[in-house]
Amino acid sequence: MKATQQLHDLGQSLWLDNITREILDNGTLQRHIAELSVTGLTSNPTIFNEAIGSGYYDAAIRAKAKAGKAGEALFIDIALEDLRRAADLFAPIHAKTGGVDGWVSMEVSPLLAADTAGTIAAAKDIFAAAQRRNLFVKIPGTPEGIPAIEEAILKGVPVNVTLLFSREQYLAAAEAYLRGIERRLAAGLDAVVESVASVFVSRWDRALGAEVPAELHNRLGTATSALTYRAYLDLLASDRWKKLAAQGAHAQRLLWASTGTKDPKLSANFYVEALAAPGTVDTMPEKTLLAFAKDGKVGAAMAADGGDAEALLAQYARAGVDVDALATKLQVDGAKAFVDSWNELMRRIATKSAALAAA
């Protein structure tokens, strides 16, 4: 049995952190679903930027530019065309799991990160334009994004909360989700609006590099994840959540993101193996997915009590690492990186459109 199937049987959903028209056209995504237990996918501007740079979208860009589309509107059209096709491939999984699994994701413009009202409006527009029930709108879990997450849930828009790094950031996103569901119930609305909370893992270790003692290299990402997982389980065991679940609400699932290794000395399977946790999602770059399917090992599930995470974090503190400050920095830097990727994507689309029009 493939390691991917074993992980699926453990109770974790495996999603692909990639979407291109090419893997839709050549059947690669369908094979990943059939052979590697993939049950959803995520996307981001960097992924689309690289795909558009390959030339595979030239005909689509030319046609849309000729029809008067440009910039963000052109990109959203192209992205949603791909994501609708992917969503249709995952539709049987979505139906079989009662809407819990089988999702694709599309994010709002990161230029709206500090604009709560603009983010809410964009989230509603993207979900409506997608015309697919199994499409998450990605909203960053930044301080400015938290109110938008609550309002989106209230309005019935499924949300993938992104850019979470710490337990505290996760809990803020979970609180926004709970408030959104509670407000829906108070208004007499259906309690079911799906959501995932995406916690980024490997960026912790890349940020520190070799700045800490050797015994602490590449351990901070999994330590903070372990604490977050414990908080996730504690929330699901709380009276507040049980009351909502009794009224039909579905849990906001914890999703592990940034699970590809950055340190060449690490096994490609390092984070995937360490983050095996029932009831969660792991979204993997294609390279990581294939490596794990080939020679990954599924051992014991993550400890419900966080294992030795608290002791490890105490070691980091003694080594001079301010984990809370680093979590804030990672979120701020991540938001900036998304803006940079978005701007690069818009420049590429403008350049492509002009070159194709002149050709």
Does the pLDDT at position 325 exceed 90? yes
Mind giving me the DSSP string for 285-316? -HHHHHHHHHH----SPPPTT-TTHHHHHHHH
Please give the Cα distance from 176 to 60 (Å, whole number). Answer: 38
Among residues 2, 96, 124, 138, the one annotated as catalytic is 138
Range of weakest confidence among 46-50, 93-97, 298-302: 46-50
pLDDT at residue number 80: 97
* Tens of pLDDT, residues 58-110: 999 999 998 999 999 999 999 999 999 999 999 999 999 999 999 999 999 99
Please tell me the predicted confidence (pLDDT) of residue 329: 98
Q: Is 27 left (phi over 0), alpha (psi -120 to 50) or beta?
A: left
Which residue range forms the structural domain that includes residue 169? 3-358
Average pLDDT of the residues in 37-65 = 92
Mean pLDDT of 173-177: 98
Is the per-residue pLDDT at 359 higher than 80? no
Instruction: At 195, list the tokens.
Output: 């959501």
176-205 pLDDT tens trace = 999 999 999 999 999 999 999 999 999 999
- For the stretch 55-62, contacts whose Cβ atoms lie closer than 8 Å and that sit 24 or more positions apart, written own/partner, are 56/20, 56/21, 56/22, 57/21, 57/352, 58/352, 58/356, 60/21, 61/349, 61/352, 61/353, 61/356, 62/353, 62/356, 62/357
Q: What percent of the chain has pLDDT over 90?
A: 91
Number of folded domains in the chain?
A: 1
Quickly state the pLDDT bin for 234 (edges 50, 70, 90): very high
pLDDT-based confidence at 358, cuts 50/70/90? confident
Cβ atoms of 281 and 255 within 8 Å: the answer is yes
Cβ–Cβ < 8 Å for 76, 129: yes
Specify the pLDDT at position 211. 85
Q: Is the confidence at residue 209, as pLDDT, over 90?
A: no
Predicted local confidence at residue 53, as pLDDT: 86
pLDDT attached to residue 349:
94
Among 228, 230, 235, smallest CA distance to 257 is for 228
- Per the annotation, the verdict on 96 as an active-site residue is no
By the 8 A CB rule, do 6 and 274 touch?
no
Task: Please provide the average confidence, as pLDDT, over all residues in the chain.
Answer: 96
With a cut of 80, say whether residue 278 has pLDDT above it.
yes
Query: Residue 309 — very low, low, confident or very high, per pLDDT cuts 50/70/90?
Result: very high
Which pLDDT value is given to residue 54?
87
Q: Say how far apart CA 80 and CA 252 lie, in whole Å.
A: 24
Give the residue among 163, 199, 197 at the shortest CA–CA distance from 44. Answer: 163
Q: Could you tell me the sign of the dihedral formed by the alpha carbons of 180, 133, 237, 323, in that order?
A: negative
CATH number, domain with residue 325? 3.20.20.70
Inform me whether the pLDDT recorded for 247 exceeds 80.
yes
Joined tokens for residue 2:
């493939």
